[in-house]
Amino acid sequence: MMTEVTSTTSPLAVAAIQFKWQKDGKTYDYFIPEGMTVNVGDKVVVETTRGETTVEVMEIKADSDKAQKKIIRVVEQVAEGAAA
């Protein structure tokens, strides 16, 4: 079962994301901007202290007291076999 959310109400929904290099299962919370659709498993771009990076959405939450930044954009999926 896929979890999908389109943030249309205030407060903003939150996506728990995980960085590629993290092997301990720790996640970080980022707000989902109004009108953006995000699914568990999506790759999204977020701002970090070292610049923008692509991360994976692990969970969708109703709220968070730890989220401080918004997701910048969803990375478009390229169909298998399609030219990049």
Q: Is residue 81 part of a domain?
A: no
The answer to whether residue 82 scores a pLDDT higher than 60 is no
Confidence class of residue 19 from pLDDT cuts 50, 70 and 90?
A: confident
Q: Is residue 16 part of a domain?
A: yes
pTM across the whole model: 0.75
Q: Is residue 51 part of a domain?
A: yes
As a whole number, mean pLDDT of residues 33-52 equals: 94
Q: Is residue 80 part of a domain?
A: no
Q: Is residue 83 part of a domain?
A: no
As a whole number, mean pLDDT of residues 42-65 equals: 93
Closest CA to 16 of 1, 30, 32, 35: 30
CA distance 17 to 29: 6
The answer to whether residue 4 scores a pLDDT higher than 90 is no
